[in-house]
Chains A and B, each alone.
Chain A
Amino acid sequence: MNVLVCIKQVPDMESKFRVDAAGTWYDTTELAWRMNEYDEYAVEQAVRLKEQVKDADITVLSIGSDKVKETMKKALAMGCDRGAHIADDNVSGKEPCEIAGVIAEYAKEKNFDVIFTGMQSQDRGSGQVGVLVAEMLTLPAVTTIVDFVYSDGRIEVKRELEGGIKAKVAFTSPAVVTCQLGLNTPRYPTLPNIMKAKKKELLSIPIKDLLKVDARQHTDKVYFPEKKGGGLIIEGEPAELADKLIQILKEKTGVLA
């Protein structure tokens, strides 16, 4: 079985973000970097799948500068078998369609049975890459999965819908799935596996070899939303306060019907 996991390196979300000089992305200097949270679920699920079927080979793919290799090493230490690093010093300037195009171009003749991605990235949050890859490869895409069961080419997943509802979806491989929080608890890479990771293959491919799709959108401006005026202060006795609050919640929000 051939498995592909697509991961992205993102800043630690606790970082202090600043808009960059061009005003179209955040300033990437002096940030701590880590694996996109949803991609950790993707890596974990791929490794579990391998542990289940035994005979599987997992490729972890990431697009970016040399720095993303650090995050790829973590995926290798978690149990992926080999790394495909698509070298690109301007990954943040690429829109989801270009990113998906590069991944699809890389994957097209490699016969991956399952392609795992995160449901979205924590920084751009478009949620498009996984589904676009599927479309480009003419594969089914099943998004926001919170449960994954594989048996003999048949995949059964649970998807998270709005309002706490879940859906059970069954399909056959090959397919693309995008992973959501709740799917699993990613393992820590163990010491022996960290040591072994350095011996695993990690090939770098220049982006120009794989970028065949033109951008269809571009980001005009990145900015912090204007600060709204201070909160609403209500005053009065507790019973009165409760009534006022209920009224506000009813009128201004959907919290109370």
Chain B
Amino acid sequence: MIFQLTEEQNLIRNMVREFAETEIAPTAKKRDEEERFDRPLMFDKLGELGLTGIVFPEEYGGAGADYISYAIAVEELSRVCASTGVTLSAHLSLCANPIYLFGSEEQKQKYLVPLAAGEKLGAFGLTEPSAGSDAGGTKTTALRDGDEWILNGTKIFITSGGDAETYVIFARTDKEAKKHNGISAFIIEKGAAGFSFGKKEEKLGIRSSPTMELVFENCRLPAANLLGKEGEGFKVAMKTLDGGRIGIASQAIGIAQGAFETAVDYAKERKQFDTPIGKFQGIQFQLADMFTQIEAARLLVYKAAYRASKGLNYSTDSAMAKLMASETAMKVTTQAVQVLGGYGYTREFPVERMMRDAKITEIYEGTSEIQRLVIGSALIK
């Protein structure tokens, strides 16, 4: 076992860090305040750097890198801006990846190639008003009509909704089948007749990443837009989320790392009782715990990423990584605010934003309760 990044992984980390610090970080605070998604910055530039297709083979416009490199990229972006981190994660893991895993060759050429190149932004629509953790409760329907599917229903909380061009959407194609068996996945493009956007959410955190409602009203799709086999949509969704959880876990690690570094720098500078507060054991213990937890969580994330790259089963690993990383992010960011005291609570420092951003990592792509359910049920199979 070698606990060392490869030369390439180091190069990737340095490159993404430099890019994130010089280009993404300067506007992170303002974009958060304005709830503004800056596509040229937060997505198009990632495409130019080859990040939007990082794990896919070159033949599909990817860079052919491994999942650890992907984890590193999301982590480094999220270290300065969690909204940019999730933009990449949702695009790559939730939209491009299911097309790579389940798409026909024709679908890969048509949809995956421009997604990997960063020419098109991708989104994933599973959640509905009455189907959150219980994704099998999907009510959106897709009925077969000759050579077409007709979709009706609503998806909510969709990351990059409205801005994205390509959507992977789940709908019930068989009302008779048992809950999980009647769902199928589809690829839908922005502009399709009967496909429109509803409400944009106002959020606690990741405010620079748009979250939108999608509305399907007699939206007609060619039969060729079915992704994977009819009735196997639930499997597509679950496999997709296995990978997605590596992305969100990495986002959580990045947020925690950003807050931790701010806290360390602050503790060295801030003086109270004529002493830098970092010299107080009470503060050092907090910093020690933060660092230890981040490192432990990061190792779980890299392990899950390693298994994903090697083609090994990694469902439980990515659930554990996401659970641990997101709870760590919440703890560490809250503690970072504490280390900065009153200043930490103000918008003068980024830790309050990081604390707000951290919370979502315990919720989307399966809440912490759902991660425990995934891990637990694998134990008692």
Contacts and interface: CB of A to CB of B under 8 A. Distances in A.
Nearest to A194: B11
A163 interface: no
A32 B239 CA distance: 39
A180 B249 CA distance: 42
Interface residues of A, number: 15
B349 to A, nearest CB: 19
Contacts of A197: 8, 11
Contacts of B64: 192, 195
Which applies to chain A's interface (DSSP): helix, strand, loop or mixed?
helix
B14 interface: yes
Interface string B44-82: 000011110010001000011100010000000000000
A165 interface: no
B12 A192 contact: no
Contacts of A77: 11, 15
B14 A190 contact: no
A192 B11 contact: no
A198 B58 contact: no
Contacts of B54: 191
Given A195-B63, A195-B64, A195-B65, A190 B50 contact: yes
Contact of B8 (A34, A188, A190, A195): A195
A189 B63 contact: no
B15 A73 contact: no
Given A188-B18, A195-B65, A73 B11 contact: yes
A111 to B, nearest CB: 31
B15 A188 contact: yes
Interface in A31-74: 34, 70, 73-74
Nearest to A77: B11
A73 B18 CA distance: 16
Contacts, number: 49
A188 B63 contact: no
B15 A189 contact: yes
Nearest to A191: B50
A76 to B, nearest CB: 9
Nearest to B48: A190
A188 B49 contact: yes
B7 A191 contact: no
A192 B14 contact: no
B10 interface: yes
Interface string A181-194: 00000001111111
Contact of A70 (B10, B12, B49, B58): B10
A193 B8 CA distance: 10
B263 to A, nearest CB: 18
Interface of A: 34, 70, 73-74, 77, 188-195, 197-198
28 contacts: A34-B14, A70-B7, A73-B7, A73-B11, A74-B14, A77-B11, A77-B15, A188-B15, A188-B19, A188-B49, A189-B11, A190-B50, A190-B63, A191-B12, A191-B50, A191-B54, A191-B65, A191-B69, A192-B58, A194-B11, A194-B12, A194-B50, A194-B63, A194-B65, A195-B63, A195-B64, A197-B8, A198-B8
Complex A-B, nearest 7 residue pairs according to Cβ-Cβ distance, in ascending order: A191-B50, A191-B63, A190-B50, A192-B63, A192-B50, A194-B11, A190-B49
